[in-house]
Amino acid sequence: MNTALLLIDVQESFRQRPYYRADDTMSFLARCNALIESCTTRGVPIVRILHVDAPATADNPFALESGHVRPLEGLANFDAAATFHKARHSALVGTGLSVWLREKGIRRLMVAGIRTEQCCETTTRHASDEGFEVDFVAEATLTFDMKHLDGSPLRAADIMARTCAVLKDRFATICSVEQALARAS
């Protein structure tokens, strides 16, 4: 089965957000880089997806004009098989990604990137609904603390656990980097 890695929104834009925490990034980058290195070695195509959003002004970190819509510092360099810009949570909406994947005969996706519960989860659900087999590489996703409706803290670890629980066996197989790579073989 042909497999591709979708590397979603691993971009400098997030460093500009007030919720960004650098201490969580090192482990995330290490797992992403291990995935990238192994995919490159095995010839698994890596698709770079970057979030671009309005307004198109230099002060919006998700606008091309800001200069922040570029790979996150510390991410391994790689030759992307394709690059797509998205303006929605799902990388499959309005980008042509689904067509590209089908033209390449890709049926299994490994999903990694930022944010676990937003663009990574949404893309995973959408891809599953479109018939792709999805390996959600949770340790190669990153999210940030949030707040419950009552203002109490909602920790990133709890968001990650919830995301994995709702995706598991319904929309995706939850995998470590090594498990996803073994399944891609």
Range of the domain at 68: 2-184
CATH, residue 93: 3.40.50.850
- Confidence at residue 50, expressed as pLDDT on a 0 to 100 scale: 98
79 burial level (CB within 10 Å; 0-12, 13-18, 19+)? exposed
Task: Please state the rounded mean pLDDT for residues 80-94.
Answer: 98
Q: Provide the pLDDT confidence category of residue 22 given band limits of 50, 70 and 90.
A: confident
- Confidence at residue 1, expressed as pLDDT on a 0 to 100 scale: 56
Q: Which amino acid is at 184?
A: A
d(C-alpha 177, C-alpha 29), whole Å: 12
CB 119 within 8 A of CB 8: yes
Task: Please state the rounded mean pLDDT for residues 77-84.
Answer: 98
Residue of 116, 135, 144, 143 lying closest to 174 (CA atoms) = 135
- Confidence at residue 23, expressed as pLDDT on a 0 to 100 scale: 83
- Confidence at residue 147, expressed as pLDDT on a 0 to 100 scale: 96
Q: How many domains does the chain have?
A: 1
Which segments of 3-145 does DSSP mark as H helices, in order? 25-42, 97-103, 121-129
Task: Please state the rounded mean pLDDT for residues 7-27.
Answer: 93
Q: Provide the pLDDT confidence category of residue 30 given band limits of 50, 70 and 90.
A: very high
**pLDDT score of 107 more than 60:** yes
Q: Mean pLDDT over all residues of the chain?
A: 96
**pLDDT score of 124 more than 90:** yes
d(C-alpha 151, C-alpha 31), whole Å: 31
HSE of 41 in the Cβ direction (CA atoms, 13 Å)?
8
Q: Provide the pLDDT confidence category of residue 136 given band limits of 50, 70 and 90.
A: very high
- What are the C-alpha distances in Å from 157 to residues 27, 59, 97? 13, 30, 30
Q: What is the pLDDT of residues 138-158, one digit of tens each?
A: 999 999 999 999 999 999 999
Is the pLDDT higher at 23 or at 65? 65
- Confidence at residue 142, expressed as pLDDT on a 0 to 100 scale: 98
Within 10 angstroms of residue 48's Cβ, the number of other Cβ atoms is 22
- Confidence at residue 24, expressed as pLDDT on a 0 to 100 scale: 82
Task: Please state the rounded mean pLDDT for residues 61-73.
Answer: 97
